[in-house]
Structure 1
Amino acid sequence: MSDSIQALIIEDDFRIADINRRYVEKVEGYMVQEVVKTGEEALAYLENCSSLPQLILLDIYIPDVQGLDLLWQLRRLYHEIDLIPVTAANETETIEEALRGGAFDYIVKPVDADRFAHSLQRYKEYRKFLSVKESLEQNEIDALIGVTDVSYLSYSSSTNTNLPKGIDPITLKDIKQLLGADKGKGITAVELSKKIGTSRSTARRYLEYLVSAKEVHTTLKYGTVGRPERKYMHRETYEQND
């Protein structure tokens, strides 16, 4: 229980708060510590709680807060707590300021469940990695801040063995699970990019890696117009359905 990542949800709409709570608690290793509706409630809770949460899921549009004032208050008072805005605010200026304020990620409503889970999984691995490191090499820093796709999980030889540069073992594992649960329908690079929250080229790189590793089979998907798209299917599932 104590090893779980404790999350505080700040959301004024009780229906969305409940949805976010369920999304969080579906991800292994997480617990929702509390749900609050306003900035005043959030600050009062943090001041009086027995142990601080590790992560705050923050709606930008809440009644008693102007813009990103609460985010900056939280950064100033509780700099050890990480923040992920989960909000309908999608203005470039707002997103830029939130990232400048140290937001770990930024999720726009309506929330996609897979995208939410992927963000929480990345955050969990981020914390796990930092907990076993006393110093970092440049390539590890690059991975942490998103400069490159290199794996920051070098502490785990079982997950990082023989993977080429640009293939992150956690993302690779997520993709394998998606393909394994696909029930033989197959997936395109565009479809995968939306599910895991990456660019189309990044999704295709992982899929082509799995093809080269002979774990994935490809077929062509013909549409009504344009060139056919490549569909990727877990090889075992493909062979069972063949």
Structure 2
Amino acid sequence: MRIWVARPEPGATRTAERLAALGHDPLLAPVLAVTRAIGPPPEGDFAGLLLTSANAVPALAAQAIAGVPVFAVGTRTAAAARAAGACPVLDAEGDAAALSRLVRATLAPGATLLHLAGAERKREPAASLEAAGYRIRIFTAYAAEPVPALPSRVAEALGGTAGRPRLDGALHYSRRSAEAALELAGAAGLGGAFAALKHYCLSADVAVPLVAAAIEVHFVPTRPSEEALLAGLVGTKWTS
């Protein structure tokens, strides 16, 4: 299968390499560009650090993290935090709800945590943790902005340019990247071709923009992991 990898770097290249190893033809064309924060995170007596994306890991280098538990949303984020020198790192192995549960199972209410977040962030895990009595401080560690236009390689593939095979599917790793891919394809006049792809989404939350646009989502894994998502390339069809 020829599959569009729309997620931003650094994860995009790794995903493309995994697809190639599985015998697929990856089309590497991110629709989001990640920029890092200017300036260090705030200092404070934090009982833990929250990471909901590996994109926030570079901010750890500016934070005094020795001995401060890092709560990571998933395995890839946890591995990146460990590589940056964080210890201990606790892996929620799931989504923001799982991350909230892990914190509540580990720390007593009243603890103050620093969330190294993106500029576009969801209510969770902060909302449920604050409701449970935790104090959450937010540091915007990165921003992910849509690229100005649909990448030319994708436009060529969706448009069926001579000599270039059409795309078969697209991988979506975040709601924001799925939304950006949808909007960029529509702006390029290729919304119909985009909708006709087989769409593989990391979670039901990631699929929301596509479902809202009445686009059929081919597969969502039961657990939000890359391994489960890639296994779905030969899996069964998902229904919401």
Same fold by TM-score greater than 0.5? no
Larger RCO: 1 or 2 (CA < 8 Å, sep 6+):
2
Q: TM-score normalised to the size of structure 1?
A: 0.36
- Structure with the bigger percentage of strand: 2
Q: TM-score normalised to the size of structure 2?
A: 0.36
